[in-house]
Structure formats: C-alpha cells, structure tokens
C-alpha cells in the first residue's frame, strides 16, 4: 500500500503546478460569482432572467424581508389620457413650503393623508393637522384619488409644514370611457355576458364591477406602493409612516404620542407590527387606563415601517385576488392572517384621532362622537388631548380575542373582474421592473 501510494504521488508530481493554477482559477471565479450575487442583491427591483422568483434586499434592519417578484407576471397598465399623464408629471414635483421648513427633524414620522372628494371633510382634517404639536417637523404627503379642483385648492393652501401632492394616475375617476373607468361594452350590475354580448367577470354574488366602488382599493394599493417604493422623498426612508384619511380628525397631541409609541414599540411590544392613534373600534375613544394597549390593527391613524411594508407587499397576490372592494377588510381577512402570528398594534388608552361622519347617520352616537353638520365639526377637543398623555413606564395590556373581520370571511364582493385584479397586481411591480401599457 505504501509503495502504491508513493508511486501515485510520484506520478502526479509533475502535474502539481497545473493543479495549483487550477485551484487559483477556481478561487478567483468563486470570488467573482459571489461579488456579482452580492451586487445583484442590493439592487432594488433587479430581475434575473431565470424562471424562479427574484428576491431583492431592501437594505433595512431586517434583511430577511425581501421583495418577491414573479418574472412570469407581465404588468399591464391602461393607456393614459392627457389628464392622467399631466397628473403623473405633477407627482414628480418636489415638496412645497421648503422655504418655511427647510429641513425635517431627524426622527420625524412622515404623514400620508389619502383623500377622494369630500372638501368639507378635508378642510376639517387640514385645520386639525395645523394644530398638531410637531407638525412642522415632518413631511405631509396628500394622495388624491382622481383630480377634484376644490380638494386640490385646500391642499394648495397648506402652510404649516412641508407638503407634497400625488395623484393616482390610473384612478377610474380619470377615465370616462375606458378601463379602469367604464369601457364601451362592459357588463353592468347582473348582466349576462352571453345575452348582453358584454364584457366582464362577476364577483361571488353575481355582480359586475363598479368603477366608483373599485377605486377605493385601487387607490390604497397604488398609494402604498408609490409612497414606499416610488417617491424620492420616501424611497430610502426606513422610519415609520403614518396613514390617515379625510374623515379622521387629528388631535393636537397625536404626533408627540406617536413618536413615543414608535420608540416604545420595540421595547414594550416587540411582537407589535404597528402603532395606532385610535382603537380598532371606531366608536371608542379609548379605555382611559394607565397602560398601553396592544390589539388588532385598526384603520385610523396606523403607522408602520418598511419591514412591515415588505411583508404586506409580499402578499400582493392575496390582496389583489380577494373578492372584497374594501382595502381594510381585505387586509384583516386574508393578508394579516397569512403572516402566521397575531398582527398586534400598540396604542395609548386614549384616542389621538377620531373618525367623524355626517351628523345623524352614525349608529350609537354619543357625546364623545364627532360629526359634521353644515361643514362644522361637532366635537370638543379636551385639555387631555392638547399634550402627550402616554407614560413610557406603563405596562402593556393585550386584547387577544377581539371581534371583527378575520380569516375565513369570504368578502363583500365588488372585486371579481380579472382586469381589476391584474391592474392591482401590476401596481406591486411598477417600481420594480419595466411594464407595458395596454
């Protein structure tokens, strides 16, 4: 055995330099391949030409949250008209009021206000924001579902902080005679496509699409994708963003309370995904306890960071294919349950934002409710709402079993047309790969 081994060593001695050279070449190739892969990993939206999904790092505190893209899906966007193109161009304008507020605070929380066409409501919300302590430290982004001059004028008049307007360029409200508006030949209501020779897919209840109804979900999803991935002002922002609507009255202590909640969340409630300004029960003003509250995420003044957005973005198919025209019910019924763990949010035990509507239309109204009568808000801001009322030393009370929409709910419908589902899914891709127009 020893003799045989020595002979093999002797016979192979002349090939030693070749083997060494081969080893060096293999090592160099391995380093080059590794370098290439790492470069590809940090390019947001890079799409390899393979048949497997691509995973792109977003450069945040949790590198395990990646953008998942399916190269087999080809995004298609409707052909834009002149109004759509002009609004898309306005989306590229920089924020206003930088002369009054030249810089943003280092730990600022950006605010997104998404609106449709209720100018009296918007006027109330804007006035409430003007009284918020710390509002001048941050950027307010107003996202419009369509273009309505009176709404636009109200936002143009804001002078209390930096403000940027964006307009959903594919809003059904911008397309009078083509998808995503009403297209010639579209089925309506419960039309039979064969009998009427019309086009469209019904929802689970046999109803065809209504552009006015589907715009709610389209706007929210487009806004989310645009705010997190499509704006230079937010694209590299890894902090928290607050989302509010045109019927949310924001109390003066909201921003300071929110800063505290965001700071306390990783310490007091690491399992919490978000922070909220108000209870998930829109009729509640809070418990008034000397404690923080962890509960299911509500839809009034919710705040989260890019890590959570990536988890939501990864569920684009679930969001876009669920037969439900409300974005929030879609999230509660299919997206949040798919995370595998309870989706808690952290809040104070007293509201810092209040939902309001037209007086006399809301069931169960009481003295604590807010409502609008002839453009005037019937609601009194109390002394406790003027300054921060959250104590960092408070413990957290968990609400573990709450009523409301959850996994298993099949949806209210209104979202059965394949064109809406495909447009919705296309919004998840527009800032991550090239797309085509129909």
| Structure token digits, residue 433 | 């790969």
**Burial category of 195 from C-beta neighbours within 10 Å (exposed 0-12, middle 13-18, buried 19 and up):** exposed
Kindly report, residue by residue over 344-359, the tens digit of the pLDDT: 999 999 999 999 988 7
Decide: 401 and 293 in contact? Cβ < 8 Å.
Answer: no
User: CA 273 to CA 342: how far, in whole Å?
Assistant: 9
As beta bridge partners, residue 54 has: 69
Share of the chain above pLDDT 90, in %: 74
Above 80 in pLDDT, residue 436? no
Q: Is the peptide bond before 180 cis (omega within 30 degrees of 0)?
A: yes
* CB atoms inside a 10 Å sphere around CB 355: 20
Q: Within 13 Å, how many C-alpha atoms sit on residue 346's CB side? A: 26
The helix or strand, by DSSP H or E, that contains position 291, with its residue range, turns out to be none
Residue 70's pLDDT is 81
Q: Tokens 């391995």, residue?
A: 30
pTM: 0.83
Decide: 251 and 351 in contact? Cβ < 8 Å.
Answer: yes
Kindly report, residue by residue over 170-228, the tens digit of the pLDDT: 999 999 999 999 999 999 999 999 999 999 999 999 999 999 999 999 999 999 999 99
Kindly report, residue by residue over 69-124, the tens digit of the pLDDT: 787 888 999 999 999 999 999 999 999 999 999 999 999 999 999 999 999 999 99
Angstrom CA distances, 279 to 8, 241, 285, 296, stand at: 79, 18, 7, 9
Kindly report, residue by residue over 252-290, the tens digit of the pLDDT: 999 999 999 999 999 999 999 999 999 999 989 999 999
Residue 235's pLDDT is 93
User: CA 128 to CA 347: how far, in whole Å?
Assistant: 20
Is 247 one of the annotated binding-site residues? yes
User: CA 25 to CA 28: how far, in whole Å?
Assistant: 5
Cite the beta strand spans of 277-417 per DSSP E. Answer: 292-296, 302-304, 344-347, 353-358, 370-373, 376-378, 396-398
Task: Please tell me whether residue 179 adopts helix, strand or coil conformation.
Answer: coil
Kindly report, residue by residue over 228-257, the tens digit of the pLDDT: 999 999 999 999 999 999 999 999 999 999
User: CA 324 to CA 213: how far, in whole Å?
Assistant: 10
Mean pLDDT (the chain, rounded):
85
Residues in the chain: 438
Kindly report, residue by residue over 41-56, the tens digit of the pLDDT: 333 332 222 222 232 3
φ and ψ at 112, to 5 degrees?
-115, 120
Is 355 one of the annotated binding-site residues? yes
Residue 375's pLDDT is 74
Is 323 one of the annotated binding-site residues? no
| Structure token digits, residue 5 | 């081994």
Closest CA to 289 of 332, 247, 350, 346: 350
| Structure token digits, residue 82 | 């002149």
Decide: 298 and 276 in contact? Cβ < 8 Å.
Answer: yes
């Amino acid at each position: 055995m020893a003799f045989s081994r020595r002979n093999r060593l002797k016979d192979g001695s002349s090939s030693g330099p070749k083997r060494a050279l081969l080893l060096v070449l293999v090592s160099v190739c391995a380093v080059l391949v590794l370098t290439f892969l790492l470069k590809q990993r940090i390019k947001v939206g890079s799409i390899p030409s393979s048949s497997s999904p691509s995973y792109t790092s977003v450069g945040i505190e949790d590198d395990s949250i990646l953008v998942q893209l399916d190269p087999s899906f080809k995004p298609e966007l409707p052909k834009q008209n002149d109004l759509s193109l002009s609004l898309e161009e306005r989306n590229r304008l920089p924020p206003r009021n930088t002369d009054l507020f030249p810089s943003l605070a280092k730990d600022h929380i950006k605010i997104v206000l998404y609106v449709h066409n209720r100018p009296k409501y918007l006027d109330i919300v804007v006035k409430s924001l003007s009284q918020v302590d710390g509002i001048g430290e941050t950027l307010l982004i107003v996202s419009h579902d369509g273009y309505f001059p009176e709404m636009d004028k109200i936002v143009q008049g804001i002078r209390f902080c930096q403000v940027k307007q964006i307009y959903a360029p594919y809003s059904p409200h911008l397309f009078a005679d083509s998808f995503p508006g009403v297209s010639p030949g579209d089925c309506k209501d419960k039309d039979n496509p064969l009998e009427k020779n019309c086009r469209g897919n019904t929802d689970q209840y046999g109803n065809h699409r209504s552009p006015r109804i589907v715009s709610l979900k389209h706007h929210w999803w487009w806004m989310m994708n645009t705010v997190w991935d499509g704006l230079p002002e937010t694209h590299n922002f890894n902090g928290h963003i607050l989302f509010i609507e045109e019927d949310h009255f924001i109390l003066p202590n909201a921003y300071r309370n929110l800063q505290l909640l965001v700071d306390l969340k990783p310490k007091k409630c690491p399992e919490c995904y978000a922070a909220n300004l108000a209870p998930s029960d829109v009729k509640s003003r809070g418990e008034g306890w000397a404690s923080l509250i962890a509960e299911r995420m509500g839809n009034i003044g919710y705040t989260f960071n890019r890590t959570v957005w990536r988890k939501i973005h990864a569920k684009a198919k679930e969001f876009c294919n669920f037969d439900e025209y409300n974005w929030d019910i879609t999230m509660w019924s299919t997206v949040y349950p798919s995370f595998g763990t309870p989706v808690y949010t952290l809040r104070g035990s007293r509201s810092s934002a209040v939902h309001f509507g037209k007086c006399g239309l809301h069931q169960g109204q009481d003295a604590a409710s807010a409502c609008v009568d002839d453009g005037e808000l019937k609601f009194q801001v109390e002394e406790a709402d003027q300054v921060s009322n959250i104590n960092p030393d408070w413990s957290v009370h968990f609400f573990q079993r709450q009523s409301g929409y959850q996994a298993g709910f099949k949806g209210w419908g209104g979202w059965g047309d394949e064109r809406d589902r495909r447009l919705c899914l296309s919004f998840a891709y527009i800032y991550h790969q090239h797309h085509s127009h129909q």
